[in-house]
Structure formats: structure tokens, C-alpha cells
Amino acid sequence: MESFRFPDDLVALQAAWLDTYTALAKVPAGVGATALRRRLITLSCRLHAHPHWAAPGGARGTRAELRRQARARRWATAA
């Protein structure tokens, strides 16, 4: 599969989604994760509605590739 470069703001948005999802997964049951759930929903909506997907050629590249690039960015900044 050919690698596709997504807009930086879209990759950053996906990285924020991954961070929030990871944080939510670590919250013990019954501790009150409402704020994290709301943030995850907001980020999901922003990802889905990003102008990249409506632009000509925007469908190029898959969402799985977007997640891969976001994970790579997180690992690079963590190192």
C-alpha cells in the first residue's frame, strides 16, 4: 500500500483521539469518565467532519493509514 500524507491538523486530531481513548480505557469502572467520553465524541465528530474528506482526492488514503500516522507521530514525540 502506498503511503499517503494527511494534513498535519488531521493527524494531530487523530493523535488526540487515540490519547483520549487510551486514557478512557485506563479509567477504572465507576470512577466517572464522563469528561473523557464527551471529549472522545467531540473528537470523533471533528475527525468525521474534517474538510480533508470532502476535498478532491480526500478519500485517498484510508482511516487505518491515518491512525498509523497518528501513532507514529505519538511515538516520535514520546521519544
The Cα-based distances of 67 to 32, 33, 35, 42, 76 in angstroms read: 27, 23, 23, 17, 14
**Amino acid 54: pLDDT:** 86
**Per-residue pLDDT for 77 more than 80?**
no
Q: What's the whole-model pTM score? A: 0.83
Q: What is the mean pLDDT of the chain?
A: 87
CB-hemisphere CA count at 13 Å for 20?
18
Tell me the mean pLDDT in the region 39-67. Answer: 88
- How many angstroms separate the CA atoms of 33 and 41, rounded? 12
